[in-house]
C-alpha cells in the first residue's frame, strides 16, 4: 500500500515538473502566425461620402467641400441610428474643410470650435490643440507673461531663500537678506534691455503684422514693435561692447576691434566703446610695427667671406658633418663683438646637445633684441611648446599646481570675482560676504580633490610632444613613466600599453596586465560602434596587437562571429515596445503568436531583445531560453516573411511611432536616415536586393518608454509653488522655504539666446 502511494506521488511530481515547473518552453512551431488571406475591402456610404469631401478639398472648391461635408455628417447620423459604431471621419473632414480657409484667424477659430466635439481621435485632438495654440498674439501674450513671472519669481525666491536658510542662525537673517537684495540688483544690472521672452514676443508680433496688416490689432502693435526694436538694438550694442572688453582682456586685439566697431554701429557716440576701439587699434598698430621691423632687411654690410673663420662657419652649417661648435668658437675667439658674433652664438647653441642647447638658447634669449638681433629668434625657440616641450611640460605642471592650490583655497573665486560688468574693485566688494563660506569649504574641496583629481591635458600634451621630438632624450624615460601612470589612472589602457611597450625596461608582468586591460577596452569601444566595418577594424586590431591575452582571443572570436552573423540591417523592435504597442505585434503588423507576450515562460515567451529585422525579408526572433531566465542568452530563430507582411510592418511601425510622439513627447523616436532608407525599400517591395555597404546598415532600436527610462514617470505638480529644503555645512546653513516655479523655456528658446 505504501509502495503504491509512493509511486503515485512520484508520478504526480514528475508530471508536475513535466508540465512546466521551473524552466521555460521554446516553441517547436513558428513564432509567427501564418499570413491571413485578406478579403477586398468594400467601401460603405461613409467611405464614399468622405471620398467626396476629399475630392472637393483637393480641388480647392470650399463651397462644394462644405456641401459634401454636410452629406457626410448626414450619413454618419444614419450610421449611428442603425447602431453602428462611429467612424470618426466627420472630425477629420471638418478639419480638412477648415484648412481651405485663406484667413488664418478664421481657421484657428473654426479649429477651436472643432475641439468642442467629443468624438475626436486623440491624435487629431493633439494636432488641433497645437494649431489653435499657434496664434501669434496668444503666444506673444504668453511670453510676456512668462517674462514678468520670471522677474517676480526671482525676487521672491531670493528673499524667501535668505529667510528660510536662517532657521538655525536667525541672527544672520538680516545679512542674508541684504545679500539677496544686492544679488537682485546685480542681476537687474546684468539683464539685457530686452529679455528672452520679450524677444520671442517681438517675433510673434512682427509675424502677425506681416500676415494681418489691416486688422485693428496690427495697428496697435506697431508702437510696441518700435519700442521693442530699440531695446533689441541696445541689447546688441551692450553684448558687442562686453564681448570686445573680454576679447581685449584675452589679448585678442583684432577680434576686440571688430566687436567694438560692431557696437559703434548701434551707438556711435558711446565713449566707452570708442576707448575700446582706440586701445585695440593701438595694440594692433604696435604689433604690426614689431612685425615690420622683423621683416626689414638689414642695412649692415655683408659678412666678409674673405675671413677664414666666417667661411669655415658657413661651410660647417651647410655640410651634414660640419663641426659648427668648433667653427663658432674660432670665430668668436677671433672677434667676440663682431657683426657675426651674435649669429655664431645662436648657431653654436643649436649644435649643442639637448640640455646644453636649451641653456645656451635661454642665455641668448635674455639679451636685448635691439643690440642682439638673434635674441628674438632664441626667445621664440625657448618659448615655443613644440620646440621646447620639456620647458612647456614644467610650465604646464606649475600652472596646474597653482590652479589646484587656488581652487582649494578660494573655490569659485580662484580666478577672481564673478564677472558682473562692474569695476573690479566693486566686484571684489560684492564677493566679500562669500569669503567666510568659501574658506569654510576648504576641507570639502580637499576631500573632493583627493577622491577625484582634476584632469589636465597641458602636461600630457607637452610630454607627448617631447617623446615625439626626443624619443631618446634626457627626460624621455621620466616623461614616459609619468605618461603611463597618467593614462592608467585615467583608464586609457590602450594608450598606456602603447607607451609601456616602447620602454624596454618596463616590468613584463605589468605590461601583460596593461595588454589585457587594453584588449578589453578595445572590445568595449568596438561594441559602441554602429558601423560593422568600424567594429571589425577595432576588433581585428585588438586581436592582432594582444594575441596572448584572454581578451585578445575573445576579440578574435568576436571578429569571426561578427562576420558569420553579418546582416544587411539590424533594426530591433524590443519586447517592451511590442507590449506598449500591441497593434505592431498583432496580425496587422508582425503577426506574433499571442502566447509569446503573455508573461508565461512555460509556453514560450519573447525575450526582451524582441525581434530584429535583418534586411531583405528576414526577421530574427529572440525567445527566452529553456532555463526561463531572461538574463540568459536568448534562443534565436530566423524566419522569412512575405513582402506584404514586411511592408505592413514597417508602415505600421512608422505610423505608430509618429502617433506616439504626438500623444507623448517621451515616446518620440530619434531620426535615422539608414533605417528610413531600408523601410522605404521594404514598402516598395525591393528589399530583397541587399545593400551590403557598411554605410547602409542601421542598428536602430525601437524601445518602449518604460524600458527606455527604467522607471514609471512621475506626475508634474500643478501647484505654482514648491517647498525646498536647503543645507550648507561650511556656513552652517539649514532651512526650508517656498519657491515659485519658473516657467519652462519653449523648445525654440535656443534661437533667441
Residues 703 and 672: their CA atoms lie apart, in Å, by 14
Is residue 748 scored above 90 in pLDDT?
no
Q: Give pLDDT tens digits for 543-557.
A: 999 998 999 999 999
Identify the CA nearest to 146 among candidates 76, 195, 73.
195
Residue spans of alpha helices (H) in 82-190? 89-98, 104-114, 122-133, 136-164, 173-190
What pLDDT score does 15 carry?
36
Same domain, 493 and 586: no
Identify the CA nearest to 30 among candidates 616, 600, 582, 590.
590
Dihedral (C-alpha) 642, 647, 649, 650: value to the nearest 10 degrees?
140
What pLDDT score does 298 carry?
63
What pLDDT score does 574 carry?
94
Query: Percent of the chain having pLDDT more than 90?
Result: 41
Find the mean pLDDT for residues 519-539.
Answer: 91
What pLDDT score does 438 carry?
79
Domain boundary among 247, 262, 292: 292
What pLDDT score does 497 carry?
93
More confident residue, 189 or 14: 189
What pLDDT score does 43 carry?
87
Find the mean pLDDT for residues 393-406.
Answer: 89
For residue 659, is it within any domain?
A: yes
Phi and psi (nearest 5°) for 482?
A: -65, -45
What pLDDT score does 221 carry?
93
Query: Percent of the chain having pLDDT more than 70?
Result: 92
Same domain, 364 and 434: no
| pLDDT band at residue 731 using 50, 70 and 90 as cut-offs | low
Same domain, 473 and 594: no
For residue 124, is it within any domain?
A: yes
Q: Give pLDDT tens digits for 206-219.
A: 999 998 888 889 98
Find the mean pLDDT for residues 441-455.
Answer: 79
Q: Give pLDDT tens digits for 245-265.
A: 999 999 999 999 999 999 999
676: which 3 cell numbers? 528610413
164: which 3 cell numbers? 528660510
Find the mean pLDDT for residues 51-68.
Answer: 90
For residue 10, is it within any domain?
A: no
| pLDDT band at residue 581 using 50, 70 and 90 as cut-offs | very high
Domain boundary among 507, 529, 551: 529
Find the mean pLDDT for residues 72-80.
Answer: 89
Burial class of residue 241 (count of CB atoms within 10 Å of its CB; 0-12, 13-18, 19+): buried
Same domain, 363 and 397: no
What pLDDT score does 649 carry?
94
Is residue 656 scored above 90 in pLDDT?
yes
| pLDDT band at residue 337 using 50, 70 and 90 as cut-offs | confident
Same domain, 503 and 575: no
What pLDDT score does 680 carry?
92
Is residue 145 scored above 80 in pLDDT?
yes
For residue 601, is it within any domain?
A: yes
What pLDDT score does 457 carry?
84
499: which 3 cell numbers? 607607451
Q: Is residue 89 within 8 Å of residue 46, measured between CB atoms?
A: yes
Question: At CB < 8 A and 24+ separation, what contacts does 705-711 make?
Answer: 705/580, 705/664, 705/666, 705/667, 706/576, 706/580, 707/574, 707/576, 707/577, 707/608, 708/576, 708/666, 709/666
More confident residue, 68 or 438: 68
Same domain, 354 and 431: no
More confident residue, 555 or 718: 555
Identify the CA nearest to 521 among candidates 548, 491, 544.
491
| pLDDT band at residue 295 using 50, 70 and 90 as cut-offs | low
Same domain, 397 and 525: yes
Q: Is residue 562 within 8 Å of residue 539, measured between CB atoms?
A: yes
Q: What is the residue range of 650's domain? A: 568-696
Same domain, 359 and 408: no
Same domain, 579 and 628: yes
What pLDDT score does 729 carry?
56
What pLDDT score does 19 carry?
40
| pLDDT band at residue 119 using 50, 70 and 90 as cut-offs | confident
What pLDDT score does 522 carry?
94
Residues 76 and 35: their CA atoms lie apart, in Å, by 33
For residue 363, is it within any domain?
A: yes
For the whole prediction, is pTM greater than 0.85? Answer: no
Q: Give pLDDT tens digits for 592-638.
A: 998 898 888 888 899 999 999 998 899 999 999 988 888 888 999 99
Is residue 380 scored above 80 in pLDDT?
yes
Find the range with the poorest average confidence among 135-149, 210-224, 291-305: 291-305
For residue 342, is it within any domain?
A: yes
Same domain, 288 and 314: no
Domain boundary among 292, 317, 338: 292
Residues 606 and 594: their CA atoms lie apart, in Å, by 10
Is residue 122 scored above 60 in pLDDT?
yes
| pLDDT band at residue 747 using 50, 70 and 90 as cut-offs | confident
Do you know the residue count of the chain?
A: 753
What pLDDT score does 21 carry?
41
| pLDDT band at residue 16 using 50, 70 and 90 as cut-offs | very low
Total domains, the chain: 5
Same domain, 582 and 689: yes
For residue 692, is it within any domain?
A: yes
Partners of 468 in the β-ladder: none
Same domain, 504 and 604: no
Q: Give pLDDT tens digits for 468-516.
A: 988 888 899 999 999 999 899 888 999 999 999 988 888 889 999 999 9
Is residue 713 scored above 60 in pLDDT?
no
Question: DSSP secondary-structure letter at 37?
Answer: P
More confident residue, 717 or 407: 407
Burial class of residue 146 (count of CB atoms within 10 Å of its CB; 0-12, 13-18, 19+): buried
644: which 3 cell numbers? 506584404
What pLDDT score does 302 carry?
61
Strand arrangement of the beta sheet that strand 618-623 belongs to: 635-640, 618-623, 606-613, 571-573, 701-702
For residue 548, is it within any domain?
A: no
Is residue 305 scored above 90 in pLDDT?
no
What pLDDT score does 303 carry?
64
Amino acid at each position: 500500500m505504501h509502495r503504491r502511494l509512493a509511486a503515485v506521488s512520484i508520478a504526480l511530481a514528475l508530471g508536475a515538473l513535466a508540465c512546466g515547473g521551473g524552466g521555460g518552453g521554446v516553441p517547436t512551431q513558428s513564432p509567427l502566425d501564418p499570413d491571413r488571406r485578406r478579403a477586398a475591402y468594400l467601401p460603405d456610404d461613409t467611405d464614399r461620402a468622405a471620398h467626396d469631401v476629399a475630392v472637393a478639398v483637393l480641388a480647392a472648391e470650399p463651397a462644394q467641400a462644405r456641401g459634401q461635408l454636410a452629406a457626410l455628417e448626414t450619413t454618419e447620423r444614419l450610421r449611428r441610428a442603425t447602431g453602428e459604431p462611429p467612424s470618426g471621419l466627420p472630425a477629420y473632414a471638418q478639419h480638412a474643410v477648415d484648412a481651405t480657409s485663406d484667413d488664418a484667424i478664421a481657421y484657428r477659430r473654426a479649429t477651436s470650435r472643432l475641439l468642442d466635439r467629443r468624438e475626436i481621435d486623440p491624435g487629431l485632438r493633439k494636432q488641433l490643440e497645437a494649431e489653435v495654440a499657434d496664434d501669434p498674439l496668444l503666444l506673444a501674450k504668453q511670453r510676456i507673461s512668462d517674462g514678468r513671472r520670471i522677474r517676480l519669481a526671482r525676487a521672491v525666491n531670493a528673499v524667501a531663500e535668505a529667510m528660510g536658510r536662517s532657521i538655525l542662525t536667525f541672527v544672520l537673517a538680516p545679512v542674508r537678506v541684504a545679500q539677496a537684495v544686492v544679488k537682485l540688483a546685480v542681476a537687474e544690472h546684468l539683464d539685457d534691455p530686452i529679455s528672452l521672452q520679450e524677444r520671442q514676443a517681438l517675433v510673434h508680433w512682427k509675424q502677425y503684422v506681416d500676415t494681418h496688416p489691416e486688422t485693428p490689432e496690427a495697428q496697435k502693435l506697431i508702437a510696441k514693435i518700435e519700442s521693442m526694436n530699440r531695446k533689441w538694438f541696445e541689447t546688441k550694442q551692450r553684448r558687442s561692447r562686453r564681448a570686445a572688453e573680454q576679447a581685449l582682456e584675452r589679448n585678442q586685439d583684432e577680434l576686440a576691434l571688430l566687436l567694438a566697431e560692431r557696437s559703434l554701429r548701434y551707438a556711435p557716440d558711446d565713449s566707452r566703446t570708442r576707448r575700446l576701439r582706440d586701445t585695440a587699434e593701438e595694440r594692433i598698430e604696435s604689433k604690426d610695427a614689431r612685425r615690420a621691423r622683423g621683416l626689414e632687411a638689414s642695412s649692415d654690410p655683408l659678412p666678409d667671406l674673405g675671413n677664414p673663420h666666417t667661411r669655415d662657419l658657413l661651410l660647417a652649417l651647410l655640410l651634414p658633418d660640419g663641426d659648427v661648435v668648433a667653427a663658432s668658437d674660432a670665430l668668436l675667439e677671433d672677434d667676440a663683438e663682431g657683426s657675426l658674433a651674435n649669429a655664431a652664438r645662436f648657431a653654436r647653441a643649436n649644435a649643442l646637445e639637448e640640455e646644453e642647447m636649451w641653456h645656451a638658447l635661454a642665455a641668448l634669449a635674455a639679451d636685448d633684441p635691439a643690440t642682439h638681433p638673434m635674441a628674438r629668434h632664441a626667445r621664440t625657440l625657448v618659448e615655443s611648446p613644440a620646440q621646447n616641450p620639456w620647458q612647456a611640460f614644467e610650465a604646464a605642471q606649475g600652472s596646474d599646481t597653482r590652479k589646484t592650490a587656488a581652487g582649494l583655497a578660494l573655490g569659485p573665486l580662484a580666478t577672481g570675482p564673478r564677472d558682473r560688468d562692474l569695476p573690479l574693485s566693486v566686484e571684489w566688494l560684492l564677493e566679500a560676504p562669500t569669503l567666510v563660506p568659501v574658506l569654510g569649504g576648504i576641507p570639502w574641496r580637499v576631500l573632493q580633490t583627493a577622491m577625484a583629481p582634476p584632469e589636465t591635458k597641458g602636461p600630457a600634451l607637452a610630454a607627448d610632444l617631447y617623446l615625439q621630438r626626443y624619443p631618446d632624450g634626457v627626460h624621455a624615460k621620466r616623461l614616459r613613466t609619468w605618461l603611463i601612470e597618467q593614462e592608467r589612472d585615467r583608464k586609457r589602457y590602450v594608450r598606456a600599453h602603447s607607451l609601456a611597450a616602447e620602454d624596454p625596461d618596463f616590468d613584463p608582468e605589468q605590461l601583460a596586465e596593461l595588454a589585457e586591460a587594453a584588449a578589453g577596452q578595445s572590445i568595449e569601444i568596438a561594441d559602441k560602434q554602429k558601423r560593422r566595418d568600424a567594429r571589425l577594424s577595432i576588433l581585428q586590431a585588438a586581436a592582432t596587437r594582444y594575441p596572448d591575452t584572454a581578451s585578445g582571443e575573445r576579440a578574435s572570436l568576436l571578429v569571426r562571429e561578427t562576420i558569420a552573423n553579418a546582416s544587411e540591417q539590424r533594426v530591433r523592435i524590443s519586447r517592451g515596445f511590442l507590449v506598449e504597442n500591441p497593434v505592431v505585434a498583432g496580425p496587422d503588423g508582425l503577426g506574433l503568436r499571442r502566447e509569446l507576450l503573455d508573461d508565461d515562460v512555460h509556453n514560450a515567451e519573447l525575450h526582451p531583445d524582441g525581434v530584429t529585422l535583418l534586411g531583405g525579408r528576414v526577421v530574427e526572433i529572440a525567445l527566452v531560453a529553456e532555463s526561463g531566465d531572461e538574463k540568459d542568452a536568448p534562443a534565436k530563430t530566423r524566419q522569412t516573411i512575405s513582402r506584404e507582411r514586411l511592408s505592413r510592418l514597417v508602415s505600421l511601425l512608422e505610423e505608430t511611432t509618429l502617433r506616439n510622439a504626438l500623444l507623448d513627447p517621451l515616446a518620440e523616436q530619434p531620426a535615422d536616415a539608414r533605417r528610413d532608407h531600408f523601410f522605404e525599400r521594404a514598402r516598395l517591395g525591393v528589399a530583397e536586393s541587399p545593400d551590403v555597404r557598411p554605410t547602409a546598415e542601421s542598428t536602430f532600436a525601437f524601445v518602449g518608454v518604460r524600458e527606455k527610462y527604467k522607471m514609471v514617470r512621475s506626475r508634474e505638480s500643478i501647484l505654482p509653488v514648491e517647498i525646498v529644503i536647503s543645507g550648507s555645512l561650511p556656513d552652517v546653513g539649514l532651512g526650508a522655504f517656498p519657491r515659485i516655479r519658473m516657467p519652462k523655456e519653449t523648445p525654440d528658446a535656443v534661437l533667441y539666446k
